[in-house]
Amino acid sequence: MKQLIAEKFRAVYGRVPEIVAYAPGRIEFIGNHTDYNGGTVLGAALDRGVWVAVAGRADGRRQFASDQRGAPVELRVEEMGKRNGSESWVNYPLGVLAALPVFGAVAPAGFDYLAMSNLPSGAGLSSSAAIELASALAFLEMAGERPLREAVVKIGKHAENHFVGVPCGILDQGVSGFGQKNRLVFIDCRGPVFETVPLPGDAHFWIFNTHTKHALVDGLYAARHRECMAAAQGLGVSLLVEADAAAVEAGKAKLAPEVFKRAKHVVDEIARVDAAKFALAGGDLVAVGRLLTASHRSSQFLFENSTPELDFLVDTLTATAHVFGARLTGGGFGGAVMAMTSGAFGEQEAQAVAVAYREKFGATPDVLHAQTGDGAKLL
Ligand code: ADP
Ligand code: MG
């Protein structure tokens, strides 16, 4: 891949890159909208992601290109405003550049930049965190800095929260930064504290990307964020992680009906993450699978961030042999469903699910047998 991006870089800029960095996408294994509520979450880094190649320029100009976009976007160093329309993808590297000084690092001045990806974008697999972390590693290396992994994670999150404007928690960047092959990343988002736990050998991941996306997805994400904060306030805690199921039940009268449902989802989901971690340690994939499906049902009925397409996939998958459990993965309101299966579930079984989906919705989901992979790194 380093060779490939170097060739592409040469095709765009007529010279070789000086630095290449990589960061993976991720699966949200379990812990739906728990991160910004201070809860716990488990995720897995994928073996696919975003590569970023850069080379310095003496004239102080910055050129941004992506293999998924057209001609490079050229900006002067002082042009740090948000981009719109076809240039809006540049907000990810630009947001990283804006975040660097906040973390005491120097943003490089002029450079040529190319992003290359083998990760579906907008599918709930966090291509956004991947491009942020790969960009951050490349820019930091240009500035001669080798920060701790945790700082790179925080720079990526800062870019997404404050520049792109998505109030996401630490899950996406944390898993992209700390992922390891055949392991899951467990994050206690209050610290945040990152650990990895082994993934039992017979756990396989299948992802069904529906390519559906609710038109108001960004607004809906922000609305859920607001409802969670309102729930915390109503319950007299600063974040929902400080409440538990009993406290939410006891405070029901003080919460609007939707706000109560959001709070119940979050506190139950945090309990499910912790139960899943325990079951993983015991190698009990049947128990883990039940928790995954319970997580989806809670998204469906309490957090209300599922869709008929995602529900259909979960219903179909959980009625199929060799599937331990299935759930929407990522923010919801469209996107992808993840199933954890045994090795006996194969391409044929996956295609049967895709065919059933096509018969109902007239469109075919992308099917991906996902492998876990390592976290962000310089190449
Ligand atoms: P997800 O993170 O689930 O993939 P998001 O909507 O958060 O979905 O982020 C997707 C956005 O990230 C894209 O619309 C694009 O702006 C940006 N992006 C990700 N990867 C690339 C890439 N390789 N080239 C250009 N932009 C990218
Ligand atoms: Mg994203």
Q: What does the pLDDT average to over 260-283? A: 98
191-206 burial: b if 16+ Cβ within 10 Å, else e: ebebebeebbeebbbb
Expressed in angstroms and rounded, the spacing between residue 317 Cα and the centre of ligand 1 is: 27
Best mutation site among 128, 211, 368 for ligand 1 pocket (most ligand atoms within 8 Å of CB): 128
User: Strand pairing of 111-117 and 61-66?
Assistant: parallel
Expressed in angstroms and rounded, the spacing between residue 182 Cα and the centre of ligand 2 is: 23
184 vs 27, 98, 123, 169, 281, CA distance in Å?
10, 30, 20, 17, 11
Task: Check pocket membership of 89 for ligand 1, CB cut-off 6 A.
Answer: yes
User: Strand pairing of 204-213 and 334-341?
Assistant: antiparallel
User: First-to-last CA distance in the chain?
Assistant: 9
Q: What is the DSSP string of 152-176?
A: HHHHHHHIIIIII-----SHHHHHH
pLDDT of residue 146: 87
pLDDT of residue 325: 98
Query: Could you give the residue range(s) of every CATH 3.30.230.10 domain in the chain?
Result: 2-24+45-182
Ligand 1 closest atom vs CA 89: 16
Residue whose token pair is 């740090």 = 80
Expressed in angstroms and rounded, the spacing between residue 330 Cα and the centre of ligand 2 is: 8
Q: Which ligand is nearest to the CA of 90?
A: 1
166 vs 161, 239, 370, CA distance in Å?
5, 18, 26
* Cα–Cα distance for residue pair 370/376, rounded to 1 Å: 17
Q: Summarize pLDDT for 205-220 with one digit per residue, the tens.
A: 999 999 988 777 778 9
Residue of the nearest CA to atom 11 in ligand 1? Answer: 128
pLDDT of residue 157: 97
Q: Which of 153, 147, 222 minimizes the C-alpha distance to 189?
A: 153
**SS3 state of residue 50:** strand
pLDDT of residue 201: 86
375 pLDDT higher than 80 = yes
**SS3 state of residue 26:** strand
Q: Are 123 and 23 in contact (CB under 8 A)?
A: no
Task: Check pocket membership of 306 for ligand 1, CB cut-off 6 A.
Answer: no
Task: Check pocket membership of 51 for ligand 1, CB cut-off 6 A.
Answer: no
pLDDT of residue 131: 98
Q: Summarize pLDDT for 55-85 with one digit per residue, the tens.
A: 999 999 999 999 999 899 999 999 999 999 9
28 pLDDT higher than 80 = yes
**SS3 state of residue 263:** helix
Residue 147: band (very low, low, confident or very high) from pLDDT cuts 50, 70, 90: confident
83-110 burial: b if 16+ Cβ within 10 Å, else e: eeeeeebbbbbbbbbbbbeeeebebbbb
pLDDT of residue 278: 97
CA 184 to chain centre: 14
Catalytic residues: 172
* 299 DSSP 8-state letter: I
User: Strand pairing of 377-378 and 19-30?
Assistant: antiparallel
Expressed in angstroms and rounded, the spacing between residue 363 Cα and the centre of ligand 2 is: 23
Give the DSSP H or E segment for 134.
helix 127-142
Q: Summarize pLDDT for 326-366 with one digit per residue, the tens.
A: 999 988 999 999 999 999 999 999 999 999 999 999 999 99
Q: What does the pLDDT average to over 246-250? A: 97
Q: Which ligand is nearest to the CA of 134?
A: 1
Q: Which of 141, 157, 75 minimizes the C-alpha distance to 108?
A: 141
Indicate the CATH number for domain 2-24+45-182. 3.30.230.10
Task: Check pocket membership of 340 for ligand 1, CB cut-off 6 A.
Answer: no
Q: What does the pLDDT average to over 118-139? A: 93
Best mutation site among 82, 86, 94, 127 for ligand 1 pocket (most ligand atoms within 8 Å of CB): 127
pLDDT of residue 214: 75
- What tokens were used for 129? 């965190």
203 pLDDT higher than 80 = yes
Q: What does the pLDDT average to over 9-24? A: 98
One-letter amino acid for residue 192 of the chain:
P
* 71 DSSP 8-state letter: S
Query: Could you give the residue range(s) of every CATH 3.30.70.890 domain in the chain?
Result: 204-370
Tell which wins on pLDDT, 213 or 273.
273
Superfamily (CATH H level) for 204-370: GHMP kinase, C-terminal domain (3.30.70.890)
Phi, psi of 334 (to 5 degrees): 115, -175
- What tokens were used for 241? 């992680």
Q: Are 205 and 27 in contact (CB under 8 A)?
A: yes
Q: Summarize pLDDT for 282-310 with one digit per residue, the tens.
A: 999 999 999 999 999 999 999 999 999 99
Mean of pLDDT over the chain: 96
This prediction has a pTM of 0.93
Q: How many helices (H) and strands (E) does the chain have?
A: 11, 12
- What tokens were used for 114? 């190319």
Residue whose token pair is 């929902």 = 240
Percent of the chain with pLDDT over 90: 91
Q: What does the pLDDT average to over 17-44? A: 97
Q: What does the pLDDT average to over 308-321? A: 98
Expressed in angstroms and rounded, the spacing between residue 348 Cα and the centre of ligand 1 is: 30
